[in-house]
Amino acid sequence: MRLADLATPALVVDVDVAQANITTMAELHPGARLRPHVKAHKCTLLARMQRDVGGHRTFTCATPREVVGMAAAGLGDDLLLANETLDDGRLRKMVECGGRVTVAVDSRDTIEAAARAGVGEVLVDVDVGLPRCGCGPEVAGALADRARQAGLVVRGVMGYEGHLQMETDDHVAKVASSMELLQRAALDVGGDVISTGGTGTAVAHAELSVANEVQAGSYVLMDSQYGTRDLPFRQALFVWATVISVSERYAVADCGLKALGMDHGNPTIAGAQVWFCSDEHVTFSGLAGLRPGHRIAVVPAHVDPTVAYHDRMHLVHGPPGADTEVVDTWEVDLRGW
């Protein structure tokens, strides 16, 4: 099948670029120094590529569904749920999934829920400057003591510095001061894991070496927001769309905000100006000679929610064009919670 034959909107992945991104990241953070976050692609076959090409056997997950799905795919050597959960049923499913599962905790309640469900191992999640989950560094030690009293093994700390992924001013210094918070907590907590980081801070972490594992995920497929940073990763993900209407001033393709994560802004289309997206449409101008039926490649601004809208991704070699051959189709099999 060629891309011209594909029903749209559809996810398209340049598998050569994805593989090159995995290799580049593995050079920066080899083996267990990277704990790739699978929430960015939600695809066990891509996780397998990260294992086989990048040499990574430890993974980060955002949802119990991702943990259970990774274990079922034989990728359960060491899975971290880098989110808190109080859901007894889902905690038990993770305990029973057959993989080694570590869960993030940041309160007495999440510790008690983990212990109740029979979770064996936890990381204390620490607030390193982003208002998300995570306890204050000053209480991390006391929470670790409490977790040990509840029978849990405390492997160390995690803390996500998401507010610094796009920060370009004094980038390394800001990551370093965020990591001081995590390092302080790590001394009080004990254990040997210091887990943090993302695609935007991976290079800084290679320089700083405070953390011993980096949780980057977007780097495999990339998006136009990360594309504005000077990172050593290239765009591998596109939403393939059909032009359905052309007027004198603009054109419309069938790829709207139900096919694209929009929280980081409009997508981009090479050579065009994107005006806006509505439910099923992207309206744009600037491409000469367009007719209804022409196909275009749309680059999403945010990879994670974009992938989560789709049930499969189509693999190609090289940049997408109408004559490009689809070499395989992979299920986005880790969707859901």
Ligand X SMILES: Cc1ncc(COP(=O)(O)O)c(C=O)c1O
For ligand X, the closer of residues 3 and 11 by Cβ is 11
3-class state of residue 230 by DSSP = coil
CA gap 186, 125 in Å, rounded: 10
Minimum separation from the CB atom of position 104 to ligand X (A): 8
Stretch that binds ligand X, among 210-218, 259-267, 310-318, 327-335 (CB under 6 A): 210-218
Minimum separation from the CB atom of position 236 to ligand X (A): 13
Minimum separation from the CB atom of position 285 to ligand X (A): 31
For ligand X, the closer of residues 66 and 254 by Cβ is 66
For ligand X, the closer of residues 8 and 21 by Cβ is 21
Residue 199 binding ligand X, by CB under 6 A: yes
Let me know the angle formed at the C-alpha of 83 by 150 and 122, rounded to the nearest 5 degrees. 30
CA gap 38, 21 in Å, rounded: 15
- Amino acid type, 164: L
> For strand 121-125 and strand 101-105, is the pairing parallel, antiparallel, or unpaired?
parallel
Q: Which residue of the chain is nearest ligand X when measured via CB?
A: 198
CA gap 111, 139 in Å, rounded: 14
Residues in 240-299 that interact with ligand X by CB under 6 A: none
CA gap 11, 309 in Å, rounded: 10
CA gap 96, 149 in Å, rounded: 23
Single residue of 9, 129, 137, 198 touching ligand X by CB under 6 A: 198
DSSP code string of 116-154: HHT--EEEEEB-SSSSSS-B-GGGHHHHHHHHHHTT-EE
Residues in 26-55 that interact with ligand X by CB under 6 A: 37, 40
Minimum separation from the CB atom of position 291 to ligand X (A): 37
For ligand X, the closer of residues 21 and 324 by Cβ is 21
Q: Which residues contact 109 (CB under 8 A, 6 or more apart)?
A: 86
Distances (CA, A) of 111 to 81, 84, 87: 14, 9, 12
Residues in 150-189 that interact with ligand X by CB under 6 A: 160, 162, 165
Minimum separation from the CB atom of position 313 to ligand X (A): 16
For ligand X, the closer of residues 60 and 102 by Cβ is 60
For ligand X, the closer of residues 36 and 256 by Cβ is 36
Minimum separation from the CB atom of position 304 to ligand X (A): 6
Q: How many helices (H) and strands (E) does the chain have?
A: 10, 15
Residue 300 binding ligand X, by CB under 6 A: no
Tokens of 217: 């995920």
CA gap 117, 106 in Å, rounded: 16
Stretch that binds ligand X, among 66-74, 135-143, 182-190, 194-202 (CB under 6 A): 194-202
Single residue of 3, 22, 38, 82 touching ligand X by CB under 6 A: 82
Name the one residue in this structure whose structure tokens are 């208002």: 131
Residue 216 binding ligand X, by CB under 6 A: yes
Minimum separation from the CB atom of position 140 to ligand X (A): 16
Q: Which residues bind ligand X (CB under 6 A)?
A: 37, 40, 60, 82, 160, 162, 165, 198-200, 215-219
